[in-house]
Amino acid sequence: MSEVTVYAEKCKGCRYCAGVCNQDAISFSEKSNAAGYQFAQVDPEKCIQCGLCYTVCPDCVFEIA
Amino acid sequence: MAVTRVKPKLIGENNQYCSGCGHGILNRLVAEVLEELGRADDAILVTAVGCACMMNELWQGDNMQAAHGRAPASATAIKRLRPENIVFTYQGDGDLSSIGIAEILHATARNEKFTTIFANNGVFGMTGGQMAPTTLVGQKTTTTHFGRDPQFTGMPVKIVELLATLKPAYLARGSVDSIKNINTTKKYIRNAFEAQIDSEGFSLVEVLLPCPTNWHLTPEQALERVGSTVEAYYPLGEVVKRGE
């Protein structure tokens, strides 16, 4: 079973991933990362590892392996 | 269906692009295609000037930076001296379609056997969002406060259609505004590199990118504008297919 890893420190909070996620599994943190962006968080209960967030992410925040 | 998706090794850890910049997506697509073709180790990237040249710092393979707009001239020399390597230029619209238009026109006219990835976001990004030759009619920039007026500045340049008259090996225009268009753009990039590998001649893929910072939109609004407004003037598709 594959898992999604979120590299929160790379996230710039553009929210493209939330726009393409069919499962509504992506939310954004209330705290900011070191660069000052609210970062993406994946709900493992809802995620089906389809890879759409990886495809649209400009910053390689997501890894599915 | 669960899939495996891991960042290509050609892409470094942190890019310097703004939040929501389309360059990040396009850089990754190029790296993915080269790794899938098994040519990651012998590909040579040539950039020029603009936001696109920040790809140099992100790129983990061989690369060089040419003078402003002159990446096709440098790539011509590299490809002629090292025909066994994959050589490609990565240029923005402020670079390729303005100061560099002579170089790209003549590289196409000579049918040089390298590939150009042309990132079109309709503004000079790095210098603060001035009007580029590709800025749409009516679009507000820092040098067209009331929107681009075609009576004063003419019409936006369509590079792919312009170069099509010279009959290079492959020309296409893609976009990154949806998953479908991102996947199609990746196929175009693969076709372009395969045309180079088969020594068919010059290949170019134009890709429409969002620039949320200089369009003064949120990233999501900028991506929506690419799909609704930019693609209306710049139609997507293969303009010159391989073997035509």
Each residue's pLDDT tens digit, B57-73: 999 999 999 999 999 99
Domain CATH code at residue A41: 3.30.70.20
Q: What rounded mean pLDDT belongs to chain A?
A: 94
Query: Tokens at residue B196, please?
Result: 């180079």
B2 and A63 within 8 Å at the Cβ level: the answer is no
Rg from Cα positions in chain B:
17
- What average pLDDT does range B86-96 have in this prediction? 95
Measured between alpha carbons, how far is A36 from B60 in angstroms, rounded to an integer? 26
Q: Give the total number of structural domains in chain A.
A: 1
Mark yes or no for CB contact B223/A19 under 8 Å: yes
B15 touches chain A (CB under 8 A): yes
Q: Measured between CB atoms, which of B11, B22, B23 is closest to A60?
A: B11
| CB pair distance less than 8 Å for B212 and A14 | yes
Q: Does B19 touch chain A (CB under 8 A)?
A: yes
pLDDT at residue A1 is higher than 80? no
Dist CA A3 CA B222 (whole Å)? 30
Give Cβ neighbours of residue B177 (< 8 Å, ≥ 6 apart): B208, B210, B223, B224, B226, B227, B231
Q: Do B21 and A50 touch (CB under 8 A)?
A: no
Give the pLDDT of residue A2: 81
Model confidence over B133-186: pLDDT tens digits?
999 999 999 999 999 999 999 999 999 999 999 999 999 999 999 999 999 999
Please answer yes or no on whether B6 and A63 come within 8 Å at the CB atom.
yes
- Residue B200: Cβ within 10 Å count: 16
pLDDT band at B9 (very low <50, low <70, confident <90, very high): very high
Candidates A1, A13, A56; nearest CB to B179: A56
> Helices (H) and strands (E) in chain B — how many of each?
11, 9
pLDDT of residue B184: 97
Q: How confident is the prediction for chain B on average, in pLDDT? A: 95
Residue A64 lies in a domain: no
% of residues, chain B, pLDDT over 70: 100
**Count of C-beta atoms within a 10 Å radius of residue A20:** 18
Mean pLDDT score, A29-58: 94
| Average pLDDT of the segment spanning B108-127 | 95
Length of chain B: 244
Helix (H, G, I), strand (E, B) or coil at B10: coil
- C-alpha separations of B137 from A34, B71, B128 in Å: 39, 28, 19
Mean pLDDT to the nearest integer, A55-60: 95
User: What is the band of B25 on the pLDDT scale with cuts at 50, 70, 90?
Assistant: very high
The answer to which of A14-18, A25-29, B3-7 has the lowest mean pLDDT is: B3-7
Q: Which CATH superfamily is domain B22-240 in?
A: Thiamin diphosphate (ThDP)-binding fold, Pyr/PP domains (3.40.50.970)
Asked if the model's pLDDT at residue B2 lies above 80, the reply is: no
Please indicate, yes or no, if residue A52 is contained in any of the structural domains. Answer: yes
Rg (CA), chain A: 11
Distance, CA of A19 to CA of A31 (rounded, Å): 21
In A, which residues are within 8 Å of B223 by CB distance?
Answer: 16, 19
Write the DSSP string, B30-67. HHHHHHHTT-SSSEEEEE-SSGGGGHHHHB-SEEEE-S
- Whether A34 has its CB under 8 Å from any CB of chain B: the answer is no
* Per-residue model confidence as pLDDT tens digits over B122-134: 999 999 999 999 9
Q: Report how far residue B129's alpha carbon sits from residue B92's, in angstroms, rounded to the nearest whole number.
A: 13
* CA B110/CA A6 separation, integer angstroms: 46
In a domain? residue A51: yes
Q: Which domain holds residue A32?
A: 4-59
Identify from A3, A4, A14 which residue to disrupt to test chain B contact, counting B C-beta atoms within 10 A and taking the largest count.
A14
Mean pLDDT, range B5-19, rounded to an integer = 93
* B90 pLDDT more than 80: yes
Q: Per-residue pLDDT for B1 more than 80?
A: no
Query: Between chains, do A56 and B25 touch, taking CB under 8 Å as contact?
Result: yes
Q: Is residue A65 part of a domain?
A: no
Q: Answer yes or no: is A31 within a domain.
A: yes
**pLDDT, position B20:** 94
Has residue B236 got a pLDDT over 80?
Answer: yes
Domain ranges of chain B: 22-240
